């Protein structure tokens, strides 16, 4: 009876830099099949261990500005002196094929997605404390003190946007955060609106 979804679910995950989004997403993708992670375009330099096409598509500012001009991006934003954006074509293809798509994007980009795709699910992820966020950014050892200070300042501004999200997840332990996101996705799939394809058959009114 279970039919393949006609359209994939767009899932937006935001949270301050260093909260653990990439870590939580890697764990989630390992556990839950059928989610496509949208690899963003960015003008920032790759960190040690990051690979082009896997973590991000690393492009020049000129190339990014060409993509903006040619309307190739669903959304984009400037974050701590670099551009970040989501390819429109890639996510449309996946959603139309019934595949869920996960975006890891900051709050300005999320607001643009909310305006264009109100049916998306919006999840904000926070650390157990601000002190712990600072500790994680320092422990990650990928950014200099100036960049870390910029990211912590940005975090305070981002927290103001939490009320515009549907769900709040606390990344105290990675496994707890993943479990909460899984619960959100399962509950969302059970919404009547998202099961209309089942209702077309023997359950139609």
- Segment interacting with ligand ADP (CB under 6 A) among 54-62, 74-82, 132-140, 157-165: 132-140
Cα separation of 22 and 180, whole Å? 16
Closest residue by beta carbon to ligand 5GP: 109
- Of residues 143 and 179, the one with the C-beta less far from ligand 5GP: 143
Q: Binds 23, which of ligand 5GP, ligand ADP, none (CB < 5 to 8 A, cut-off by type)?
A: ligand ADP
Under rule CB under 6 A, residue 18 binds ligand ADP: yes
154 near ligand ADP (CB under 6 A): no
DSSP string, 16-54: -TTSSHHHHHHHHHHHSTTEEEP--EE-SPPPTT--BTT
Closest by CA to 37, choosing from 74, 10, 64, 77, is: 10
3-class SS of residue 169? strand
Candidates 45, 62, 139, 204: give the one binding ligand ADP (CB under 6 A). Answer: 139
User: For residue 18, which of 147, 167, 197 has the smallest C-alpha distance?
Assistant: 147
Nearer to ligand ADP, 129 or 164 (CB): 129
Question: Nearer Cβ to ligand 5GP, position 100 or 106?
Answer: 106
- Toward ligand 5GP, which CB reaches closer, 77 or 181? 77
Calculate the CA 23 to chain-centre distance: 12
Shortest separation between residue 76's beta carbon and ligand 5GP, angstroms = 6
Of the pair 71, 139, the CB lying nearest ligand ADP is at 139
Does 134 participate in binding ligand ADP (rule CB under 6 A)? no
21 lies in the site for ligand ADP, by CB under 6 A: yes
Q: Which of 7, 22, 88, 111 binds ligand ADP (CB under 6 A)?
A: 22
Contact call for residues 191 and 117 (beta carbons, < 8 A): no
84 binds, among ligand 5GP, ligand ADP, none (CB under 5 to 8 A by kind): ligand 5GP
Cα 104 to Cα 22: distance, rounded to the nearest angstrom: 8
- Chain-centre distance of CA 162, in angstroms? 14
Residue facing ligand ADP at closest CB distance: 20
d(CA 10, CA 92): 10
* Residues with Cβ within 8 Å of residue 98, at least 6 apart in sequence: 4, 5, 6, 7, 8
Residue 171 interacts with ligand ADP (CB under 6 A)?
Answer: yes
């Amino acid at each position: 009876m279970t039919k393949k979804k006609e359209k994939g679910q767009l899932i937006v995950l935001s949270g301050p830099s260093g909260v653990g989004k990439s870590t939580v997403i890697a764990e989630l993708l390992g556990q839950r099949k059928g989610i496509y992670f949208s690899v963003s375009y960015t003008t920032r330099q790759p960190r040690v261990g990051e690979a082009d096409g896997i973590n991000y598509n690393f492009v020049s500012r000129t190339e990014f500005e060409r993509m903006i001009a040619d309307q190739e991006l669903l959304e984009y934003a400037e974050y701590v002196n670099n551009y970040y954006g989501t390819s429109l074509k890639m996510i449309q293809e996946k959603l139309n094929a019934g595949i869920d798509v996960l975006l890891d994007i900051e709050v300005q980009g999320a607001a643009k997605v909310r305006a264009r795709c109100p049916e998306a699910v919006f999840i904000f992820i926070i650390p157990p404390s601000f002190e712990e966020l600072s500790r994680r950014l320092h422990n990650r050892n990928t950014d200099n003190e100036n960049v870390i200070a910029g990211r912590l300042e940005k975090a305070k501004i981002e927290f103001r946007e939490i009320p515009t999200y549907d769900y709040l997840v606390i990344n105290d332990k990675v496994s707890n955060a993943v479990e909460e996101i899984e619960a959100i996705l399962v509950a969302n799939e059970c919404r009547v609106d998202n099961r209309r394809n089942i209702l077309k058959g023997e359950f139609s009114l």
